[in-house]
Structure 1
Amino acid sequence: MKLVAVIFLFSLISVDLNPVSANFFPNISSIPASIIPNGSVWDAFGALHGCRRGVKSQGLASLKKYFQLFGYLNTSYDDFSDDFDEFLESAVKNYQLNFNLNQTGELDAPTLKHIVLPRCGNADIVNGSSTMRSGKSSSAYSANSTIHTVAHYSFFPNRPRWPAEKSQLTYAFAPENQLSDVVRGIFVKAFERWSEVTPLTFVETTTFNRADLRIGFFSGDHGDGEPFDGVLGTLAHAFSPPVGLLHFDGEENWVTDGNFLNGSPMSAVDLESVAVHEIGHLLGLGHSSVEDAIMYPTISSGIRKVELANDDIMGIQELYGSNPNYNGSGSTLNPLTPRGERDTSGAPTHGFALVFGLLSLLLFLV
């Protein structure tokens, strides 16, 4: 009964939110200089370098709120003073452990450098439990039995997933966002990253309130208890099955063609990279401590990262099984982009390509 109430509440939230017109740019050079920030909203944390337990320093209160937001401090913690107490030290150590840093408990340079990176707004620790760093045995489920690795993927509490009888999921965009075909096409490709390795398929619908997955771009406090913070900082967040809500920060400078070869990378965020990550949350995956994994929580501005790592594939296949056409290296119809290469072809894929071709033929005949 409580779950039904929560789902109903989030359904109401998704209707009442006020989407914004997001910032989309084809490439870095097209971003106006006037809206490029000097740095991340968290850059002020750099002044805390060297802080450790027992120290009092201005700005530690804000850092405590950061750690509470991402689950490293309990929700009941309320000492937001500038004192570096034992709870903050424990939070720092857990953060360092999750992100493969030396567990000093001190705000050293590597730790602070990582803290200020743009990231997913979903917490790394939920209800006091984190599995980002937990290594499962090499016998963990994988469609490719020739790969032997320690897995670090994780799930939401109680492992929520979409029911087996619902292998086709519908998704819709908030009508108020008025997204272009280019932006919508990016989501087609992002969803295909996951359908290539699972039996799941994804179909867009125009009925927003009845779609399984509802996507929108918002700014600031948008009614779900997780306000966005402007350029950089938190980029997006998503809710686990069966809620199906995916929210992006509309104030980010979203790049749509994945081209980061020209111009400064400051503030430019690749839309497809973030979309692939957040879709993993929509399907039930939590965060991973594997830096190459899509489900790793942070991504630097100016970086394109759209390729599922083996850790992502093992995790999603443990929930849903494998796509029958998946052979461990991508389907034969639409191979996965080789790791380290940029997928900048922009070519329409599968159903979209068929529709595009038919429309082109129709126009030619007319």
Structure 2
Amino acid sequence: MKFGFQFASAAITALLLVFSSFPPPVSGRFFPNITSLPRDLPLKPNFTTAWESFQNLSGCRAGEKLDGLSKLKKYFHHFGYIPDNAYNLTDLFDDSLESAVKTYQKNFNLNVTGQLDDRTLRQIVLPRCGNADIVNGSTTMNSGRPANSTGQIHSVGRYSFFPGTPRWPASRRDLTYAFLPNNQLSPEVRSVFGTAFDRWSEVATLTFTETDNYLTADIRVGFFSGDHGDGEAFDGALGTLAHAFSPPSGRLHLDGDENWVVAGSNGDIALPSAVDLESVAVHEIGHLLGLGHSSIESAIMYPTISSRTRKVELAQDDIDGVQQLYGSNPNFNGTSTPSIQERDTSGAHGEERWGFVTLLLAVGLILLCV
């Protein structure tokens, strides 16, 4: 009995040592191999997100005046909710801002109150694509979800296109892509984009091939910081993450100041500001192909994504939209993967390791009781 107790104690001690040797269940590695990024990333974030101050506007409504409303108007103007002829930088909650808030709430399936309630502000401050939701007065989100008499939401398509429905012509369905030479991207990062392009070619009549010739490539991918000459300046960590232009422009720009992460890599670093590279790449490629934003949260073309989340599988809404433009890949079996793929970038492997260690600890406790 004494020997059994000593054996169990030793086993538990060993298991605890093994347990402590595992890193926290986070997967994904920041890649400081873009020339605009620092070589040594901090272990703790030291940043203020672009729209963090908007949370101070909670409860504000039409007719009120509050510091910060002018910046919120700038946000709504950038994403198309306030047209040029109604845009002003006062701190008054005027009619144009109320209209913008209502349209935004409708696009994101929120309660349409016209007030800056907490849920609306939580949505507004999320990191997002820099492309506008409303272009030339026309929304690129099929906003709102019609409910039936029982209050259930109909499962309807919410994909959308750019105004005029631009697409790559039939003579250019075998597209090439290249990376900005100054970025000096690693093979690991290039592979992420290859996988992201494959997700679209698997369902539509398109192919994508990497080329070294940046100037002649159909699609040109680059990481930039701040104002980079296209009129759509980036704003630092967790604001606008990236933007892309409709066909046949082929330009895809990502914010080099983000803490980009490649999921599943070794040498993990966990920061609250982590942004999964593939998730953003798949979304922006949708724009390159002619898709606008979707009001379905599970869709890749939904405009926002939280930090430290991964969302890479095309939802049926995305598939329907791109096939409307280009037709279906003959080898596509007609079924989509589960629509909800958003998760923390901790990854499955970390969860599996901790689950295994938990099982070992349970066995040790049983031995101790014996």
Deviation digits for residues 139-160 of structure 1, max 9, x if unmatched?
A: xxxxxxxxx9411000001000
The 2-side partners of 1:185 and 1:216 are apart by 15
Query: Counterparts of 1:147-158 in structure 2 under 5 Å?
Result: 149-158=155-164
Q: Is the 8 A contact 2:47 2:237 kept in 1?
A: no
2:142 counterpart residue number: 133
Query: Counterparts of 1:63-102 in structure 2 under 5 Å?
Result: 63-102=72-111
How has the CA–CA distance of structure 1 residues 345 and 215 changed in structure 2, closer, same or farther, with 3 Å as cutoff?
farther
From 238, 252, 256, the counterpart of 1:250: 256
2:35 counterpart residue number: 21
**When the two structures are aligned, how many residues end up with a matched partner?**
307
1:272 counterpart residue number: 278
Q: Is the 8 A contact 2:222 2:253 kept in 1?
A: yes
Deviation digits for residues 5-42 of structure 1, max 9, x if unmatched?
A: xxxxxxxxxxxxxxx625499xxxx95225x2455220
Structure 1 position 329, deviation (Å): 3.1
Structure 1 position 123, deviation (Å): 0.1
How has the CA–CA distance of structure 1 residues 258 and 104 changed in structure 2, closer, same or farther, with 3 Å as cutoff?
farther
Secondary structure class of the residue paired with 1:311: helix
1:124 counterpart residue number: 133
Q: Is the 8 A contact 1:136 1:151 kept in 2?
A: no
1:105 counterpart residue number: 114
How has the CA–CA distance of structure 1 residues 345 and 96 changed in structure 2, closer, same or farther, with 3 Å as cutoff?
closer
2:300 counterpart residue number: 294
Query: Counterparts of 1:204-219 in structure 2 under 5 Å?
Result: 204-219=210-225
Gaps of 5+ in 2: 1-33, 147-153, 350-370
Of structures 1 and 2, the larger Rg is shown by: 2
Kindly report the root-mean-square deviation, in angstroms, between the aligned alpha carbons of the 2 structures.
2.7
Structure 1 position 249, deviation (Å): 0.2
Task: Give, as a single letter, the amino acid of the residue that structure 1 aligns with 2:43.
Answer: A
Q: Is the 8 A contact 2:204 2:329 kept in 1?
A: yes
From 42, 51, 68, the counterpart of 1:32: 42
2:59 counterpart residue number: 50
Secondary structure class of the residue paired with 2:61: coil
The 2-side partners of 1:116 and 1:250 are apart by 19
1:309 counterpart residue number: 315
How has the CA–CA distance of structure 1 residues 284 and 93 changed in structure 2, closer, same or farther, with 3 Å as cutoff?
same
Deviation digits for residues 192-242 of structure 1, max 9, x if unmatched?
A: 000000110000111101110000000000000000001110000000001
The 1-side partners of 2:90 and 2:100 are apart by 15
Secondary structure class of the residue paired with 2:53: helix
How has the CA–CA distance of structure 1 residues 45 and 94 changed in structure 2, closer, same or farther, with 3 Å as cutoff?
same
Secondary structure class of the residue paired with 2:128: coil
How has the CA–CA distance of structure 1 residues 341 and 38 changed in structure 2, closer, same or farther, with 3 Å as cutoff?
closer
Q: Is the 8 A contact 2:178 2:212 kept in 1?
A: yes
Secondary structure class of the residue paired with 2:111: coil
Q: 285-294 or 76-85: which moved more?
A: 76-85
2:362 counterpart residue number: none
The 2-side partners of 1:63 and 1:94 are apart by 14
1:10 counterpart residue number: none
Are 2:210 and 1:200 equivalent residues in the alignment?
no
The 1-side partners of 2:130 and 2:339 are apart by 28
How has the CA–CA distance of structure 1 residues 46 and 136 changed in structure 2, closer, same or farther, with 3 Å as cutoff?
closer
Q: Is the 8 A contact 2:61 2:114 kept in 1?
A: yes
Task: Give, as a single letter, the amino acid of the residue that structure 1 aligns with 2:90.
Answer: S
TM-score under structure 1 length normalisation: 0.78
How has the CA–CA distance of structure 1 residues 154 and 218 changed in structure 2, closer, same or farther, with 3 Å as cutoff?
same
How has the CA–CA distance of structure 1 residues 102 and 337 changed in structure 2, closer, same or farther, with 3 Å as cutoff?
closer
Secondary structure class of the residue paired with 1:113: helix
The 2-side partners of 1:23 and 1:277 are apart by 22
Structure 1 position 339, deviation (Å): 5.4
Task: Give, as a single letter, the amino acid of the residue that structure 1 aligns with 2:96.
Answer: F
Q: Is the 8 A contact 1:68 1:75 kept in 2?
A: yes
Gaps of 5+ in 1: 1-19, 138-147, 331-335, 347-366
TM-score under structure 2 length normalisation: 0.77
Are 2:335 and 1:329 equivalent residues in the alignment?
yes
The 2-side partners of 1:219 and 1:307 are apart by 28
1:170 counterpart residue number: 176
Structure 1 position 265, deviation (Å): 5.0
Q: Is the 8 A contact 1:120 1:235 kept in 2?
A: yes
Q: Is the 8 A contact 2:310 2:342 kept in 1?
A: no
Are 2:160 and 1:160 equivalent residues in the alignment?
no
How has the CA–CA distance of structure 1 residues 103 and 265 changed in structure 2, closer, same or farther, with 3 Å as cutoff?
farther
